[in-house]
Chain A
Amino acid sequence: MITKLFKNDQFHYHVMLIPVFIVFILFNVFPIYGVVLAFKHFVPTKGVLGSPWAGLEHYHFLVQNPEIWRVLRNTLLISVGKLVTLLVLPIILALMLNELRTKWFKRTVQTITYLPHFLSWVILAGIFRDIFSTHGIINYMMESIFHIKPIMYLGSNIWFRPIIILSNMWKEMGFSTIIYLAALTSISPTLYEAAEIDGAGRIQKIWHVSIPGIAVIIALLATLSLNGILYAGFDQIYNLYNVIVYDTADVIETWVFRNGLVGAQYEIGTAVSLVNSLMGLILIALTYTLAYRYANYRIF
């Protein structure tokens, strides 16, 4: 019996999966039962499952809370801003890099612009808090060149969202060109030669050969990026915001962290996270189905 089991490859495959499933069950499956908190009145002594039911009470409370709509608006504004900048600018950057004939220069620009992707938002927040502070280099330059009085950039409801979107662009722009560059190098040189013979100039070649050549990849990445529309980037905002700019900076995840976890309103926090996660899951399913149908994109 046992020897028969050992001769079966299926058995060995399952043995190989034991470690990964242990971690998966402990840290991905177990927490799921915790979402019932969204429908409970949590009593710490009774535990999550023993606490009395609350029905949809927390959701009634939430939809009447004006903060939720503010948080939702901020989330959408910031994530859409990030999505658009990180769709358009990497394409332009990739097209420019693709035009370069000096290999070492192209490699140098790539090396430099990929770098910020690997630095954490903790480090970058430390850096940006310094350069955007009232006595920082940006204010100093603005004052000495344009005679503008120092502005509290990170404490301003006008400036905060643009700074979030631009600093995110600064961090990820270079790295996002990788896929476009890979697609651009796979365009057949004969297409460019044919265009050249037909009398196309440099810009015409970009417009009629390069861009159509990467159109499918652009559409694919645009579709897949919709996944992130409910996530405005917790690490970045959490490390850059402060109480003065909650009006424009507070997003779903930071609100949940502050009120749900730090403020110990566990049920409310879970109620918001649950809706957020479910919507996120629906978006993933939707975008991957689209990508699979129209671009033959497969994860595995």
Chain B
Amino acid sequence: MIYSKTFGSRAFDWVIIVILILVSVVTLFPILHTVAVSFSNPAVAGSGTITVLPKGLSLKAYSHVLDDKQFFISLWVSLERIGLTLLLGTVVTYLAAFPFSRETKDFRMRNIYLWLLLIVSSFNGGIIPGYMNAKNLGLYDNFWILVLPYLFNFGNILLVFNFWRNLPKELDDCANIDGAGPWLKLTQVYFPLSLPVLATISLFTIVNTWNEYFQAIVFINDTHLLPLQTYLQQIVVTIDPMAPEDIGKGGMLSEVSNQTLDAAKISLTMLPILFIYPFLQRFFIHGITLGSVKE
């Protein structure tokens, strides 16, 4: 590739670099600001002068989170939910992907089932029929309503079977010659090769499950079953933004304002995502470009 080194071309490069730096700053600012507020002195935080560096460094907000029992109950619910969704969801997805990775001549019902799953799952009757259904199934205020509906995920099944279909066809022929049936192929031939795609869907599942908050708003009443994001939603969002300054209500509030305490809880809830983000980045590009234009 030839690169021109004229003045105009260099100026063009610098314009782009400056714009992209600005975009990056604007992207990071709200996130860093919140972290900075969480570490700041509540009295200063209320004045709105904090940018991305804490003012009057204080860990009080975090020590108050430690006293918040519900925060840890909810954290545990979230972790339990992720663990179970990951374990059961992967098994369900992996098993379902195998028949769908076959050619239509090998598995005659393939296309009929795929269209059925796709069309019916894209039509949802809205939240009310879903609510009635969960009540009928006895899943209202039940931990399993947070897990079971998420075990079927069309996108994940699609990702796994498309991954298999891109493997060399000879692999299957070899397995056939050696006399392997479907179960042997599933466990001995495809499994060792599927680790990248399983890692991808696992990461998707972890992020989506961690971020999901609405199911518990509709179906859960018992505070012992509230996932962390739902708990966060209730404390951060249901507070009326029109209410005047929270500082100065006296007692504990003046020491740790809702603002810094909320910022601390938000920062802690972001932490796991930031932690697995480097791994995510490696896999999601692969995931998003699958299931697009095929030759």
Main secondary structure on B side of the interface with A: helix
Q: Within the assembled complex, what's the spacing in Å between the Cα atoms of A100 and B293? A: 27
Closest 7 CB pairs of A and B: A273-B126, A34-B129, A120-B211, A140-B48, A13-B99, A126-B236, A20-B96
The reply to whether A284 and B122 form a contact with Cβ atoms under 8 Å apart is yes
Where the two chains meet, the residues of A that have a C-beta atom closer than 8 Å to any C-beta of B are 9-10, 12-14, 16-17, 19-20, 23-24, 26-35, 37, 48, 93, 96-97, 99-101, 105, 108-109, 111-116, 118-120, 122-131, 133, 135-137, 139-140, 152, 154-155, 170, 173-174, 178-179, 182, 189, 192-193, 196, 201-203, 220, 234-235, 239, 242, 244, 256-257, 260-261, 266, 269-270, 272-274, 276-278, 280-281, 284, 295-300
Q: Within the assembled complex, what's the spacing in Å between the Cα atoms of A13 and B266? A: 45
The reply to whether B24 and A48 form a contact with Cβ atoms under 8 Å apart is no
- Residue B95 lies at the interface, judged by CB distance under 8 Å to chain A: yes
- Residue B188 lies at the interface, judged by CB distance under 8 Å to chain A: no
Known: A234-B214, A270-B128. 6 other contacts (CB 8 A): A16-B98, A20-B151, A113-B23, A118-B211, A127-B266, A170-B27
Where the two chains meet, the residues of B that have a C-beta atom closer than 8 Å to any C-beta of A are 1-4, 8-9, 12-13, 16-17, 19-20, 23-24, 26-28, 30-31, 33-34, 37, 46-51, 91-93, 95-96, 98-100, 102, 106-109, 113-114, 117-133, 136-137, 148-149, 151-152, 157-158, 161-162, 181-183, 186, 207, 210-214, 218, 229, 232-233, 236-237, 240-242, 245, 259, 262-263, 266, 269-270, 273-274, 277, 280-281, 284-285, 288-289, 291-294
Given contacts A16-B96, A116-B27, contact A32 B125 (CB under 8 A): yes
**Residues in chain A near residue B240, CB distance under 8 A:** 242
Could you write out 9 A-B pairs with CB less than 8 Å apart?
A19-B91, A28-B121, A100-B20, A118-B207, A118-B273, A119-B211, A129-B236, A130-B34, A244-B242
The reply to whether A269 and B9 form a contact with Cβ atoms under 8 Å apart is no
Across the interface, A96 reaches (CB within 8 A) one of B19, B120, B136, B236, namely B19
Q: Within the assembled complex, what's the spacing in Å between the Cα atoms of A300 and B165? A: 10
The reply to whether A9 and B293 form a contact with Cβ atoms under 8 Å apart is no
Given contacts A123-B266, A136-B48, A300-B114, contact A19 B96 (CB under 8 A): yes
**Residues in chain A near residue B149, CB distance under 8 A:** 23, 27
